[in-house]
Homo-oligomer: A and B are copies of this chain.
Amino acid sequence: MSENKLNPDTRERILDFAEREFMAYGYEGTSMRMITSAAGVNLAAVNYHFGSKEGLLREVFRRRLGWLNGERLRVLTTLEEQAKGTPLKPSQVLEAFFGTLLRIGEDDAHGGMTFLRLLGRTLTDPAEFIRTFFASEYAEVIERYKLALFRALPDVPRAEIVWRLHFMLGAMSYAIAGTDVLQVITGLGIGDAAGEALDAKSEAKKLAERLMPFLLGGLRAPLPSAMAAAKRAAPTRRRASDLAEKKR
């Protein structure tokens, strides 16, 4: 991780350690003193380099999201060029959007699991400046991917696709945040809150393998209207074993 590199650049050191502290204690729960003392730099350096604590948080995210969302746009553009005008498959769109994010978990150069967890935890922060910041950072990439999903699922009402994109973001966000009741109870998870897991990279890989099928299953689930219609016609009685056997 970054703290082993002995980065001599004060600005980058602050960003690296702010990322860790914000991840572990949240924005409001982290003081600038915690960050600067962990990073071994002077307190006043934060205001010199970033203007304010808010400015620091924004820069922490801009550094990572700039790369991530640029990559997402690039990958989607490449896929669309290869498809030569035909719609992409839903699985391709999801892989481009969520796969690109999840691979950061295995890649410390772009933040690794520390950044993923920070992102997951911050996406539900109610602070106004955080929400408007995310909105502007994500605007372009969300718009492009929404359109790609509309094309990939031409027979599904667009409002429904937006709902499901919303749910997929939630499942992903919460999973990478790694702070839920299940983890505390079952011990299953993607690392401990204190910092790195012993084997964060293989955990990140397992997470991606489990999450992608779930998201695709949710996206392609029967619509509420279809379910209601089916129920009227003949009440369904699905067997649990369908799930394990199905290879369609």
Binding site for B on A (CB under 8 A): 23-29, 87, 89-91, 120-121, 123-128, 131-132, 134-135, 137-139, 142-143, 152-156, 159-160, 162-175, 177, 179-186, 188, 193, 209-224, 226-227, 229-230, 233, 236-238, 240-248
Contacts and interface: CB of A to CB of B under 8 A. Distances in A.
Contacts of A243: 153, 155-156, 219-223
A23 to B, nearest CB: 7
Contacts of A143: 185
A220 to B, nearest CB: 5
A29 B126 CA distance: 9
A26 B125 contact: yes
A34 to B, nearest CB: 13
- Stoichiometry (number of copies): 2
A127 to B, nearest CB: 6
B185 A159 contact: no
Given A156-B243, A181-B138, A188 B211 contact: no
A146 to B, nearest CB: 8
A2 to B, nearest CB: 19
Contacts of A171: 167-168, 170-171, 174, 218
23 contacts: A25-B126, A26-B127, A124-B124, A126-B193, A128-B193, A137-B181, A138-B181, A143-B185, A155-B243, A166-B180, A167-B171, A167-B210, A169-B174, A169-B182, A170-B173, A170-B180, A173-B174, A214-B218, A214-B221, A222-B247, A229-B247, A230-B248, A238-B248
